[in-house]
Amino acid sequence: MSLYSMGLSAINTANTKLNTTANNINNADTEGYSRQTVVVTTAGAVNTGNGYVGQGVKVETVSRQNNSYVQNQLASATSSQAEASTYNTEISQIDNLLGSSDEGISPALQDYYSSVQAVASQPSDTASRQEMLGQAENLTAQITSTQNTLNEQYDNVNTQIDSLVDQANGYLEQIAELNEEITAAYASSSGQAPNHLLDERDQMVLNLNEIVGVKTTSNGNSIDVTTANGQVLVSGSTVYPLEAVQSSQDPTRTTVAYTTPVTTTDSATGNKSTDLMAIEFDESKLSGGSLSGLLSFRSESLDETRNDLGLLTAGIALNYNEINNAGYTLDGQAGGDIFSIGEPVVYANSKNQGDAQVTASFSDASKLTGADYDIRYDQASGYTITNLKDGSSNTYSASAGTVELDGLSISLPDPTSQTVASGDSWSLQPTRNGASTLQVTLTDPNGIAASSVADEKTNNSNALKMAQLQTDKSMSQGDGDAATQTLTDIYTQIVNKVGVDAQSSNSSLTVADSLLDQRVSEQQSISGVNLDEENIDLLQFEEQYQAASQLITVANELFDTILALGS
């Protein structure tokens, strides 16, 4: 190889290095960009008879600085941090809602207790009676206001799930498109890596992990994307999108479904067609990302808080109603209800083959658990009712009719007279919406049944029983058959549990933030652009370029000398 050729190859190599360094500097702050370096090798040597003489340099490729293991660790940490952050944001709202002891349900409950005590002290005093009804209205307003806020948060979770699923599907589409582009780029460049496309795909995977935890596996020059439990979302250039769907168990609930191809054959033509069928995820199987954070928060904290607030509401309404019904009013009449509360809600699974309905009502406030229940029918074994809080279950014959369980009367449909198919199920939510339905139905203060004897206006025996509900253990919350908790205990437990959950969430988020910072540092130490290093490289490559140019100058001078000798 001539001196000219060696000088030219050196100039081209130095120029490639300078351009690559310039590109690094330009993209130092570009999200997802990996630092690039020029990989060079010797152009070989020729045997001159007096030894091998080198033929210069050549550029093999431009390589991006990337470690797949570190990149996967970063993706996992990103997913965990997004999950912890989302959970923390949501649980903090409930903690702030319930945390104040100066306003809200707690002081309203104490004021109501005091007004009941006042009626017990002066059973014939109209002002005391009017105050008791006023405090009942105030307590009801505080409970329903709190429940309405929780309901709004529940609706907001549904909305967020819809939005996040749309975002996730957008990233899945981009990953599939990049798979195609990367495969084509490799094919058209003799196997040279399209670094910018690879960086973009890695960033899309990171973005996707912020929404839902995923894993990636290589498939040639493409990657396949699956959820943590192995459900395929992208295979090559094919996307199997997520869907936000109405839960088959609860029509008020938005959940996440995966899609899978299903082939059907037209019976008339024999033609086959393939469509995507949506199948609901078991929410507990989704892990990582904001979606998992929302789903976990809803099932672990929001649902339980609404159930327990409904349990408190049922305890107030049913206990005070029971005592007031046992006494006599100021007019000597039998007492009636002070409060009204909606009956337990039962949802038939939308996939049921039969159309039979299960109904339920409250029968004993002291035995209520605050749990939800799954009811299933099997033709061979009858009905199984499972407490979703502690996992306990009870089995009943198909002809059992109305059964008593945990303070509830549950009417099970008879398969001989109603359409029930094996596998049909129902979701029973006894207290989920109880706080939303609480109302004060007694409007006449004379209707407070303070007396245990008709026409004895100064008798306070029944009012004393109402007053004792402040300290009486009238609730069990599933702690066996014996009532072990007061109404105040129930509310205190609600506040304490949310507080503990919020504190635990803060700790989890701190750990997740720290781990993410560590993973980002590790990744940036490999893939990040250090401007100081780039400046040093810039000076080095400039010197190489100048030295290569000097080779051309020397070659020209030698050529001129040879021409002069010839003349």
- 347-to-79, 305, 506 alpha-carbon distances in Å: 34, 20, 35
pTM of the model: 0.92
What's the pLDDT score for residue 482? 72
What average pLDDT does the structure give for the chain? 94
CA triple 134-128-471, angle to 5 deg: 80
What's the pLDDT score for residue 134? 97
What's the pLDDT score for residue 138? 97
With a cut of 60, say whether residue 480 has pLDDT above it. Answer: no
Confidence of residue 47 (pLDDT cuts 50, 70, 90): confident
- Rounded CA separation 128/56 (Å): 104
The model's pLDDT over 148-185, given as tens digits with 9 standing for 90+, comes to 999 999 999 999 999 999 999 999 999 999 999 999 99
- H or E stretch at 427: strand 425-429
Buried b vs exposed e over 215-252: b needs ≥16 C-beta within 10 Å?
bbeeeebbbbbbbbeebebbbeeebbbbbbbebbbbee
DSSP code of residue 482: S
Higher pLDDT residue, 45 or 88? 88
Indicate if the alpha-carbon torsion angle 59, 61, 62, 66 is positive or negative: negative
With a cut of 70, say whether residue 478 has pLDDT above it. Answer: no
Determine how many CB atoms are found less than 10 A away from the CB of residue 254.
21
Q: Which residues contact 71 (CB under 8 A, 6 or more apart)?
A: 202, 523, 527
Query: What stretches of 27-102 show up as alpha helix (H) in DSSP?
Result: 68-98
Nearest to 118 by CA among 101, 135, 95: 135
- Rounded CA separation 393/385 (Å): 5
